[in-house]
């Protein structure tokens, strides 16, 4: 008699294996396919697991194998290739496979609930509505006309796109009995009106031709295009080519909520259904998009980091926009890089991947240099726009007012008088980064972190941006009771105040996390900026992300110097990317732009290279330095972090881990540390790390595969929280 098939199941639990079960009583294993969910007994409780494969023998002895309780799906939620990618990622990033697979499912499905129906809310005319005579208000007529053109109904989303938000009018029409709500299947979503098509320039045409001629198999491309060079047009052209070949396309962007314009451009140009997948959506919307993608009904998925795991049966192209952006790396829990996994996914499944950026990461530039990626360049701005001119402003002996030097203030005045828009960049929100007592020198330190609490004047708070700790503003010094407390340094709130004093007649738009917290606030601000309502724009990195401000002729960068002297070897790269991205907002259309960078280190060679020779030359210098220091991308790293409430325990654990590593093959691997983390105390916990580095990826992973699963058994592991970060991007 053949042995009963055994189900290998990924169960969300902090263990580095899958678990073996028998099929539920009375269920024939032959009817079960990998990718379905099952209800399982697990420990003393129950879990939802995903069937990964069927095997004929188990390392667990037959008597102790338990049957699953119930089968939850008839059709697999994940195809075999999706499961294999997830398992690969779990093993590469050293994370428990059950947790990785569970996290790839929409929340409700993770909890074992039933798959949603895909219907969407919509509207259609009633017979009475069809008979309405055209004597009504224009907005009502527009809606009725649109509904006449869609006799089967139209989704609310599409209706809003065609007629603008019109909920109150719809309610009124419903009250009159002329329209009724209905439910529509996604394939009935009528396409939104087509947006304008630009005549592509030769560089754009060449880029599209190069990539679309390789749609048949794997290749990785780096689209290195200066800001404003028309990368989005290239993406759209490639999406059309892939869709014409019957394939689905996955587009990942850093933060959709920050770039509503990009979303609109996609929606107005692509004629096939698009699924959006990002954290700003309700769980329900996300699940709908996920299911539509996995059933092949959505042709394009536009999403953020976690969308990399969306099942897409016909996937034929992945595009990563702003590939250098840190947000593609998850910084907690399952610490994966969506950009790197995009390349892995394309390679495993045999189609092209395109990474685009005006400021590519050093890793990607290195991959072009070594021939792993093919470089595609857009060296000039599209539509005849001129690149901005960048100059340094030496502020070593300048009297600053709210962080602004007299020279910068003078330029602002000139531009504003000429009726232009100006943009000021300061990557620090709040009023001032610290409050001090003028009498005794007290500083507003966070009680839980090695950091200062930022002053937020408008909300009368001291707020630690590292752990979130907040308290009301002190009226007097907590140490000496003096009432002479003063803010030190600048944040965007204070800059706004100074600018309002200097330019009382020019409306100011401040864009940072605080000013855009409310839903829709960012869209409203951006719309008002484009309508020309604001002359002065100021903000944090939120302003630097992919927006076009065609009227901006002057960009002022207040403070970038810390990037030149940081302990983190990636800081210079990040600084250069930020400068280039912010600078790229200036002079996009017909008006030439100018960028002024305030600095106390005008002779710094990296800064000089950046402004005189541009980002690519800068990146080359940085890469040479990395090569000499044997740092990534010329070596491979993993960071083992530990934290605890007392100070010795993290270091003790890491020392034990290092001793443990010595039991395995550590040839070609270097261990650095343990050392205290750059911010040793954070949110009340003491933190340390051990850096593991190797000159070959394979050597590093051989060690990790043995070392990481064994760490949980160390005695000292019980007293710390620890995590492993493969290819870490931040040493925090």
Binding site for ligand ADP (CB under 6 A): 198-201, 204, 225, 227-233, 382-383, 548
Q: Which does 200 bind (CB under 5 to 8 A by kind): ligand ADP, Zn ion, none?
A: ligand ADP
Q: Which of 732, 679, 645 is nearest to 445 (CA)?
A: 679
Computed over its alpha carbons, how large is the radius of gyration of the chain?
Answer: 28
Cβ proximity to ligand ADP, 530 vs 548, nearer residue: 548
437 binds, among ligand ADP, Zn ion, none (CB under 5 to 8 A by kind): Zn ion
Contact partners, residue 608, CB within 8 Å, separation at least 6 = none
Q: Give 354 or 464: the residue with its C-beta nearer to Zn ion.
A: 464
Tell me which of Zn ion, ligand ADP, none is bound by residue 477, counting a contact when its beta carbon lies within the kind-specific cut-off of 5 to 8 angstroms: Zn ion
Among ligand ADP, Zn ion, none, what does residue 535 contact (CB within 5–8 Å per kind)?
none
Q: Which does 464 bind (CB under 5 to 8 A by kind): ligand ADP, Zn ion, none?
A: Zn ion
Q: Which is nearer to Zn ion, 121 or 684 (CB)?
A: 684
* Count of residues near Zn ion by CB under 5 A: 15
Q: Are 392 and 599 in contact (CB under 8 A)?
A: yes
SS3 of residue 53 by DSSP: strand
- Site membership for Zn ion, residue 482 (CB under 5 A): yes
Q: Annotate 424-436 with three-state secondary structure.
A: EECCCCCCECEEE
Taking alpha carbons only, the member of 356, 324, 375, 363 closest to residue 577 is 324
Pairing status of strand 470-472 against strand 37-42: unpaired
Q: Which is nearer to ligand ADP, 288 or 577 (CB)?
A: 577
What CA–CA distance (Å, rounded) separates 665 from 258?
46
User: Hunting for tokens 């059950």 — which residue is that?
Assistant: 98
**Residue 72 in contact with Zn ion, rule: CB under 5 A:** no
Region from 298-306, 357-365, 481-489, 503-511 binding Zn ion, contact rule CB under 5 A: 481-489
Handedness of CA 528, 532, 533, 535 (dihedral sign): positive
Residue 135: partners with Cβ closer than 8 Å, 6 or more residues away: none
Residue 321 Cβ vs ligand ADP, minimum distance, rounded to whole Å = 8
Residue 578 near Zn ion by CB under 5 A: no
Residue closer to Zn ion (CB basis): 438 or 696: 438
Round to whole Å and give the CA distance between 98 and 93: 13
Closest approach of Cβ 461 to Zn ion, in Å? 13
Other Cβ atoms closer than 10 A to 162 = 18
Q: Is 448 in the site for Zn ion (CB under 5 A)?
A: yes
End-to-end Cα spacing for the chain: 58
Cα 481 from Cα 91, distance rounded (Å) = 56
Q: Closest distance between ligand ADP and the C-beta of residue 304, in Å?
A: 17
Q: From ligand ADP, Zn ion, none, which one binds at residue 227 (CB under 5 to 8 Å depending on kind)?
A: ligand ADP
Closest distance to ligand ADP from the beta carbon of 200 (Å): 5
Nearer to ligand ADP, 209 or 629 (CB): 209
Residue from the set 83, 446, 688, 708 that interacts with Zn ion by CB under 5 A: 446
Report what 426 binds from ligand ADP, Zn ion, none; CB cut-off 5-8 Å by kind.
none
Q: Rounded to whole angstroms, how far apart are CA atoms 556 and 200?
A: 32
Partner from ligand ADP, Zn ion, none contacting 466, C-beta within 5 to 8 A by type: Zn ion
* Sequence-ordered list of residues with C-beta below 8 angstroms from that of 657, at least 6 positions apart, any chain: 640, 690, 707, 711, 714
440 lies in the site for Zn ion, by CB under 5 A: yes
How do strand 154-155 and strand 120-125 relate by DSSP bridges?
Answer: antiparallel
The binder of Zn ion chosen from 141, 198, 369, 480 (CB under 5 A): 480
- Cβ-Cβ contacts under 8 Å for 291 (sequence gap 6 or more): 106, 115, 116, 118
On whether the CB atoms of residues 467 and 448 are closer than 8 A, the answer is yes
Residue that is written with structure tokens 């010329």 in the block? 634
Distance in Å, CB of 627 to ligand ADP, minimum: 29
448 binding partner (options ligand ADP, Zn ion, none; Cβ < 5 to 8 Å by kind): Zn ion
Helix axes 260-269, 231-244, angle to 10 degrees: 40
Q: How far is the CB of 404 from ligand ADP (least distance, A)?
A: 28
Q: Using the minimum distance from each CB to ligand ADP, give the nearer residue, 200 or 714.
A: 200
Matching residue, tokens 């329900």: 284
Note whether 513 binds Zn ion by CB under 5 A. Answer: no
Which one of residues 258, 315, 477, 575 is an interface residue with Zn ion (CB under 5 A)?
A: 477
Smallest gap from Cβ 446 to Zn ion, in A, equals 3
Nearer to ligand ADP, 225 or 491 (CB): 225
CA dihedral 600, 601, 606, 611 (to 10 degrees): 60
In the bound state with Zn ion, the residue whose beta carbon lies nearer, of 465 and 591, is 465
24 binds, among ligand ADP, Zn ion, none (CB under 5 to 8 A by kind): none
- Say which entry of Zn ion, ligand ADP, none residue 233 contacts (CB below 5 to 8 A, set by partner kind): ligand ADP
Structure tokens at 35: 């990718």
Residues that bind Zn ion (CB under 5 A): 437, 439-440, 442, 446, 448-449, 464, 466-467, 469, 477, 479-480, 482
């Amino acid at each position: 008699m053949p042995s009963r098939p055994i189900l290998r199941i990924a169960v969300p639990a902090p263990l580095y294996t899958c678990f073996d079960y028998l099929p539920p009583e009375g269920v024939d294993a032959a009817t079960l396919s990998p990718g379905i969910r099952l209800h399982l007994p697990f420990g003393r409780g129950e879990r939802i697991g995903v069937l990964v494969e069927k095997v004929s023998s188990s390392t667990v002895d037959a008597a102790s194998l338990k049957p699953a309780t119930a089968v939850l799906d008839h059709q697999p939620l994940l195809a075999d290739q999706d499961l294999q990618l997830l398992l690969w990622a779990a093993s590469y990033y050293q994370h428990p496979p059950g947790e990785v697979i569970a996290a790839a499912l929409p929340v409700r499905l993770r909890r074992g609930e039933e798959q949603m129906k895909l219907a969407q809310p919509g509207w259609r005319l009633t017979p009475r509505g069809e008979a309405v005579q055209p004597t009504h208000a224009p907005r009502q007529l527009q809606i009725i006309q649109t509904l006449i053109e869609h006799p089967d109904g139209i989704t609310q989303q599409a209706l809003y796109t065609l007629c603008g938000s019109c909920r109150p009018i719809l309610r009124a029409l419903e009250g009159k009995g002329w329209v009724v709500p209905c439910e529509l299947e996604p394939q009935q979503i009528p396409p939104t009106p087509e947006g304008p098509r630009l005549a592509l320039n030769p560089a754009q045409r060449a880029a599209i031709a190069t990539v679309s001629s390789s749609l048949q198999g794997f290749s990785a491309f780096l689209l290195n295009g200066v800001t404003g060079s028309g990368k989005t047009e290239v993406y759209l052209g490639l999406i059309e080519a892939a869709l014409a070949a019957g394939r689905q396309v996955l587009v990942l962007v850093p933060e959709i909520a920050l770039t509503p314009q990009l979303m609109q451009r996609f929606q107005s140009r692509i004629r096939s259904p698009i699924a959006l997948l990002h954290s700003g959506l309700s769980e329900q919307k996300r699940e709908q998009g996920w299911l539509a993608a996995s059933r092949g009904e959505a042709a394009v998925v536009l999403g953020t980091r976690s969308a990399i795991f969306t099942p897409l049966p016909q996937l034929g192209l992945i595009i990563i926009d702003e590939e250098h952006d840190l947000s593609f790396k998850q910084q907690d829990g399952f610490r994966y890089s969506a950009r790197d996994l995009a390349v892995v996914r394309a390679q495993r499944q045999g189609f092209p991947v395109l990474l685009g950026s005006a400021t590519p990461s050093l890793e990607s530039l290195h991959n072009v240099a070594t021939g792993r990626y093919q470089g595609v360049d857009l060296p000039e701005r599209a539509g005849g726009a001129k690149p901005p001119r960048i100059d340094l402003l030496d502020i070593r002996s300048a009297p600053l007012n709210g962080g602004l030097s007299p020279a910068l203030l003078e330029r602002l005045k000139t531009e504003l008088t000429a009726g232009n828009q100006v943009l000021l960049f300061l990557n620090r929100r709040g009023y001032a980064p610290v409050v001090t007592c003028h009498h005794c020198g007290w500083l507003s330190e966070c009680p839980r972190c090695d950091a200062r609490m930022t002053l937020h004047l408008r909300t009368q708070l001291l707020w630690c941006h590292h752990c979130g700790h907040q308290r009301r503003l002190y009226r007097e010094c907590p140490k000496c009771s003096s009432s002479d407390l003063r803010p030190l340094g600048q944040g965007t709130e204070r800059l706004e105040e100074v600018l309002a004093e200097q330019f009382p007649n020019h409306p100011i738009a401040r864009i940072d996390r605080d000013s855009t917290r409310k839903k829709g606030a960012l869209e409203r601000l951006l719309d008002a900026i484009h309508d020309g309502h604001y002359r002065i724009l100021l903000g944090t990195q939120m302003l630097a992300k992919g927006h076009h401000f065609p009227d901006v002729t002057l960009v002022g960068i207040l403070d970038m110097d810390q990037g030149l002297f940081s302990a983190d070897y990636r800081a210079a790269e990040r600084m250069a990317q930020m400068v280039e991205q912010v600078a790229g907002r200036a002079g996009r259309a017909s008006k030439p732009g100018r960028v002024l960078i305030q600095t106390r280190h005008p002779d710094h060679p990296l800064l000089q290279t950046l402004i005189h020779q541009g980002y690519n030359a800068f990146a080359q210098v940085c890469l040479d330095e990395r090569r000499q220091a044997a740092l990534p991308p010329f070596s491979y790293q993993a960071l083992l972090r530990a934290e605890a409430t007392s100070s010795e325990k993290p270091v003790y654990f890491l020392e034990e881990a290092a001793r443990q590593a010595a039991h395995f093959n550590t040839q070609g691997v270097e261990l650095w540390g343990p050392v205290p983390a750059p911010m040793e105390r954070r949110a009340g916990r003491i933190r340390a790390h051990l850096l593991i580095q190797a000159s070959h990826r394979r050597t590093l992973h051989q060690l990790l595969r043995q070392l990481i699963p064994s760490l949980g058994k160390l005695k000292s592991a019980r007293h710390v929280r620890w995590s492993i970060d493969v290819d870490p991007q931040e040493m925090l």
